Amino acid sequence: MFKSVNSLLYLSFLIVGLSLFLVIILGVRQYRVNAQYTEISSLSERTLFGFSTMREQMTEALISANYGELKAIIPDLEQLNTLVSKLYDYQMIPAQYKLAMADTIDLSSLVIGLRRLEVAEPKKAAALELQREMRRIGENLIKVDRIITAHIRDSVIGFQLSVIGTMGILISCASFVLIALYRRGVRPLLDLSRQVEADDVDLDQGFSCPPEAGRELQGLVVSVNRMLAERRSSGQGKAPHVGADHDLLSETVNETTNNLNAVINYAQLLLESGSEELSAEQREMIGRIVASGERIGEQWQRISREFNHQD
């Protein structure tokens, strides 16, 4: 699987790009989750603190029988009820928790009880009923605050764990792809580089490539070995022609040199034996013939030496 180096490169780029995309998406999602968690926790704490403050005020008013002060607390309770209703707008809070809050936290009934207290007789019994209602709502607010806070915290932790798991899977996949890329691409290239740089490289056998190398590298090694084989075969085909040319040139040089030596010797003999019968002009011409022959012989010898040196 994935014998091609190009496929491994494309796959690694795809995994890295997907990882970056998921990091951005999950980062934005994490920011929103944390923001909602902070808002819900802050709203729940404000609700609990506000109700605790108003409960103390109502308890003091009931103890001192100052029922007129209780009427002034009604607007604060209505505002607190609006604050509790905002918790229903958050999707992080499950629907069953919202239904439980609506059943157990009924601030409107507390407002109705405060208004009835003005005309209730006897007031002491109504005050006791109002205190029991405040205690019940206060306990329910504490329970709801703990339950919602714990649930949202667990949701945030679960989301973070899912993010960590997803990134772990992507990193593992990227690691496997990089290992495969190293085995099929990098390591065969390093081995091929060592073969090229070796002093005792055998060009007759060519270069070798490990079987786990990618298709591209195997094709490259096969092409290089084929090219070396073609050059060796072409060199062997030219060798007999070069030897034949060398023999022909050597034979020609020897024959030409021998003929030139014969001409030079004959001219020198003629010059020495017939010196009295030859005129000065004839002797000069014979001397030129001897000099030209010696010069031609030297040129042939030089050509022969240069050819032997190139061979």
* pLDDT at residue 274 is higher than 70: no
**Torsion sign over Cα 65, 128, 48, 100:** negative
Domain boundaries, the chain: 5-186, 240-310
- Write out pLDDT tens, residues 135-154: 888 888 888 888 888 888 88
Report how far residue 155's alpha carbon sits from residue 34's, in angstroms, rounded to the nearest whole number. Answer: 10
pLDDT tens-digit map of 24-72: 888 888 888 888 888 888 888 888 888 888 888 888 888 887 777 777 8
Q: Please report which residue ranges of 64-106 form alpha helices under DSSP H.
A: 67-85, 95-104
pLDDT score of 243 more than 60: no
Tokens of 89: 């707008």
In angstroms, the Cα distances linking 69 to 53, 79, 124 are 14, 17, 16
184 neighbors 214 (Cβ within 8 angstroms) = yes
* Amino acid 271: pLDDT: 63
Residue 233 has φ and ψ, to the nearest 5°, of -65, -40
pLDDT of residue 266: 59
| The two structure tokens encoding residue 241 | 């022609």
Among 44-58, 100-114, 199-213, whose mean pLDDT is lowest? 199-213
Q: What are phi and psi of 209, to 5 degrees?
A: -135, 130
